[in-house]
Structure 1
C-alpha cells in the first residue's frame, strides 16, 4: 500500500496572512533540506515537513473580504482573540495545511520528486444527500481496499475476540459501516493496523453508549456505576493483591468492558504514554457528558440551549480526532497539545462534529422510543419555535462552530508553525470532513427531515 505522505486536508482553513504563510513555508523547506542531509529517526521527521518547492498560489484566487472581516495579511497576533472574525479563506495557508492528496500527487510527496504529477481523476458522486445549507467540505470516497480490510478485521475482532454482539445485531453492526467511517477520517494512517486502533476504540465507545445509555438495554438509572467500572478498562485500577484478580475478572463481565479492555490494549501498543493519558482524559470527559444527559433524563429536565451545548462539549466526538496523531504514526508533543489555543481548536472540532450527528440523526431519534435530546429539540422547546425553525437554527449553530474552528486552526497554524502542529491541525480538519462524509452517506442509519 502506498505511503500516505502528508495528511490530505479537505477543509479550507481560512484567514491567515501571506507573511505568516511565507514564514511557515520557509521554515518548513529549511527543515526538509536539513532532513535530507541527516539520518533523522521518527515518524514526525518523515512526514511532518512540507515538500521543497511547494509553492504559494497567486493572489488572484483570494476572494474579496466580507464587510467587517479582517483582511488577508492581518491575522490577530493573539490566537483566540478575534480569530473567529477571520472568515475569508486564505489559499496560501490552506495549501500549506492541506499538503498533497489524491491521485496524481505522488510528485509532491517527500523523497518522490522524480515522478511528474498526473491530472487528477474526476471524483465519483458520493451517496446520500447533504443537509441543505450545512457548511461542510465534500470528500471523495475512501480507499475501497482499506475499507474492505478494516471492515473484515473489525468484524472478526468484535465476534471472535470480544464477543461484542449476538447474531441478531449483525445487520446493525454492518449498517454502521465503521470501516468506511474510519478510513475516511484517517486517510494518512500508514498501515491498516494504525486504522484499526481508531476503529476498535470507535466500536467500543458505541457499545458502551448503546448498552449502557441507549438502544440496547441502556438506562440512566445506575449509569454512573457502570461507566466507572468500564472506565477502569481504560484507566486501570491500582489496588491490593487481594482485590486485583476480582477487578481483572470484571473486565470480561460484559461486552462494553471487554471491548474497552481489548481496544485499549491494542492502543497502548502503538501510542506513547502521553497519548494514552490524553485519550483517557478525553474519555473521562465523554463519560461525564453521558452522566449529565442521564441526570436530565431522570428528572425530565429540558436544558437551556447553552446548557445543552455545554453537555455536548463533553458528550461528543472529541476522543476520536484527539488520537489523530497516534493513528497517523507520529506524536503531537504533550506541551503543544496542552496549548490553550490547541485545546480550543480541538473543542470546536468536537462540538461542530457532534452537532452534525444531532442533525443527521434527528429523524432517527424522533422515531425511537422515549424523548431524545438533540439541539433542534432543545431549541424548539426553549425558544418556542417550530420544529423546522429549530432545525434550521441548529444548522446555523453548526456553521458558526465550524467557521470558528477553521479560523482558530488557521490562526494557530500561523502563530505556531511547528511541523507536528501543522500535521495535527490537518488531521483534525480531515477528521471533521470524514465525519460529515460518513453521516451524509450512511443512509442505512440516517434520513433527513422534510424541511426544504
Structure 2
C-alpha cells in the first residue's frame, strides 16, 4: 500500500468534476488480452478433470450497454468445449483454446522483463509488458485528479506518489479495458483506498484509536446517507472534510456513472468487507496481540485486494450478472484470488515494514511469533501458504469455468486471473518501494 497520501491543505469547496467519456465496450478483446489468464484455466483444467473438480451532480455519462442474455451450455458439455469459449459473431477472442478449424492466432506478446527479482519459489506467471502509452496517460490523469479534483496530497509528497506507479499497476492488471477512461475507474478507486489506509490506519496520521468512526463516516462517501433535510447538508459537507473522504466521494461518483446498479452495490459490499478487516487489525494493535495464524488469514480475507479484481467487468466494459457473481463457487474463486494477492503484498513489503516504526503484522511475522520459527523459516512457510492459495484459486476457477460456461463468466474469470498476475508483476517490478530479505 502506498505511503504519503495525507492531505495537509485547508479544505476547499471542490468544483464539479468533468464526466469521464467512456467509449462503448468493444466487440473483441485486444489480441494480447484474449490469451491473458488462459494458462490458468487451461493448466488447472487438467488438475480439475483428474481430481473430479471439473464435474449536485456532474453531467451524466450514458450507461454501458446491458449484456445480452446468455444461455448456459447443456449439461455434460466437455471441458475442452468450455475452455475454447463461445461461438458466434464477435466471440472469437473469448476462446481460451483454439478450435481445430480456426485460423492461426497471432503470436502472443512476450512476457515482460520486469525489473526486480521475484520471491524465490513463489508460484506466479509472467505477464505481457503494460502498454506504455496507456501507462503514461493513466499516470498523467490520476495525478491531475489527485491534485486538482480532490487535493489528495501536499507538494512535498509528489515523489512518493509517482513512485507508487499506479498507472502501470492498473494497466497491467486490466489488459482488456477498452479505453483509458475505463482504466481510470479502477485507478481512482485504488488511490482512494490507499489514501484511507494510509491516513486512517497506517503511518501518515493513522491510528487504531477511533478508526471505526473514521471508516464509518468515510464509507458514507461510497454508500450515501439518507437522512432528514435538516441534517443532510452537514453530512454532504463532511465528504469534503479530509483527503480520504474527498477521494472516496469522487472515485465513487465516476464509478457509479459507468457501472450497473448491481456492480456498484457489489463494490460497496466489498469495501465494507475491507473496512471490517481494517478494524480487526486495529483491535489487535490496541490489544498488543499477535493473532493465531488462522486468525490472521481470516482477517486477510477481508483486509485484502478483493475490491480491485471484482470490478474487472466494469473496467472491461461488460457486466457479470449478479446471480453468477453471487454463486458460492464464484465467491470462493474471488476470495482465493484476494487472499493470494494479499499474501504477495505481505511478502514483497516484508523488509519495508520491518524498517518502519512499530510492529506491522504480516504473514511471516505472525508465523514466526505463533509457530516459533526463525524469520527465514517463517518467510519461506508464508511462500508455501501463498502457493497453496494460488493452486486452489486456479483449480476452483477451472471447475467454475466448467460449471458456468457463459461468455461473461469466462471473461470475468480471465479478468480476475489477469489481475492476480498483474498484481505480482507490479510488486516485483516496483523497486522504488520493495526489496527482498536476504534469505536465499
TM-score by length of 1: 0.81
Displacement of 1:120 in angstroms is 4.8
Report what 2:78 is aligned to: 20
Cα gap change, 1:380/1:250 in structure 2, threshold over 3 Å: closer, same or farther?
same
Evaluate the alpha carbon distance shift between residue 427 and residue 7 of structure 1 in structure 2; reply closer, same or farther with a 3 A threshold. Answer: farther
Q: Could you tell me which residue of structure 2 aligns to residue 204 of structure 1?
A: 192
Aligned residues between the structures:
382
Structure 1: distance between partners of 2:322 and 2:111:
38
User: Post-superposition shift, 1:258?
Assistant: 0.1
Instruction: Quote how far apart the aligned CAs of 1:165 are.
Output: 0.2
1:269 equivalent in structure 2: 257
Q: 3-state SS of the aligned residue for 1:28?
A: coil
Out of 123, 127, 131, which is 1:135 matched to? 123
In structure 2, what is the equivalent of residue 4 of structure 1? Answer: 29
| Structure-1 residue corresponding to 2:59 | none
Classify the secondary structure of the residue corresponding to 2:143: helix
Listed one character per residue, the Cα deviations across residues 143-195 of structure 1 (whole Å, up to 9, x for unaligned) are: 00000000000000000000000011111100000000000000000010000
Change (3 A) 1:124 1:277: closer
Please name the residue that 1:100 is paired with.
Answer: none
**Residues 1:48 and 1:223: Cα distance change in structure 2 (over 3 Å):** farther
CA contact (8 A) 1:7 1:423 kept: no
Q: Quick one: structure 1 residues 262 and 312, their matched pair in 2 at CA, closer, same or farther if it must change by over 3 Å?
A: same
Runs of 4+ with >6 A deviation: none
CA distance in 1, matches of 2:366, 2:299: 12
Give me the whole-angstrom Cα distance separating, in 2, the residues matched to 1:52 and 1:209.
37
**How much does 1:28 deviate?**
1.5
Q: What is residue 286 of structure 1 aligned with on the other side? A: 274
1:251-330 alignment, distance < 5 Å: 251-330=239-318
How far apart are residue 26 of structure 1 and its match?
A: 7.8
Structure 1 pair 267–131 and aligned structure 2 pair: CA distance change class (3 A) = same
What do the CA deviations read for 1:356-400 (whole angstroms, capped 9, x no partner)? 000000000000000000000000000000000000000000000
1:389 is paired with a residue whose SS is helix
- CA gap of 1:56–1:320, structure 2 versus 1, over 3 A, is farther
What is the distance in 1 between the residues matched to 2:153 and 2:204? 10
Q: Distance in 1 between matches of 2:255 and 2:318?
A: 13
Give the match for residue 394 of structure 1: 382
Structure 2 residue 202 is the aligned partner of structure 1 residue 214: yes
1:193 aligns with 2:181: yes
Q: Provide the residue aligned with 1:450 in structure 2.
A: 438
Shift of residue 119, structure 1, vs aligned partner: 4.5
1:54 offset after TM fit, Å? 2.4
CA distance in 1, matches of 2:191, 2:413: 24
The 2-side partners of 1:343 and 1:272 are apart by 19
Q: 1:26 to 1:8 in 2, by over 3 A?
A: closer
SS at match of 2:438: coil
1:98 alignment partner in structure 2: none
> How far off is 1:117 after superposition?
5.1
- From the superposition, tell whether residues 248 and 47 of structure 1 become closer, same or farther in structure 2 (CA, over 3 Å): farther
Q: Give me the whole-angstrom Cα distance separating, in 2, the residues matched to 1:325 and 1:237.
A: 27
Over the residues paired in the alignment, what is the CA RMSD in angstroms? 2.2
In 2 relative to 1, CA 265–279 (structure 1 residues): closer, same or farther, beyond 3 Å?
Answer: same
Alignment-derived partner of residue 413 in structure 2:
425
The yes-or-no answer on 1:55 pairing with 2:82 is no
Change (3 A) 1:375 1:364: same
Hey, what does 1:147 align to over in structure 2? 135
C-alpha deviation, 1:197, in angstroms: 0.2
Higher relative contact order (CA 8 A, sep 6+): 2
Shift of 1:123: 4.5
Measure the CA separation in 1 of the matches of 2:197 and 2:96. Answer: 46
Q: Check if 1:353 corresponds to 2:335.
A: no
Structure 2 CA distance for partners of 1:7 and 1:226, relative to 1, 3 Å: farther
Q: Following the alignment from structure 2 to structure 1, what is the Cα–Cα distance between the partners of residues 315 and 383? A: 30
Structure-1 separation of matches of 2:96 and 2:160? 47
**Alignment deviations for residues 321-380 of structure 1 (CA, whole Å, 9 cap, x no partner):** 000000000000000000000000000000000000000000000000000000000000
Partner of 2:149: 161
> Equivalents in 2 of 1:53, 1:290: separation in Å?
41
Q: How far apart in 2 are the matches of 1:395 and 1:419?
A: 34
- Per the normalisation by structure 2, the TM-score is 0.83
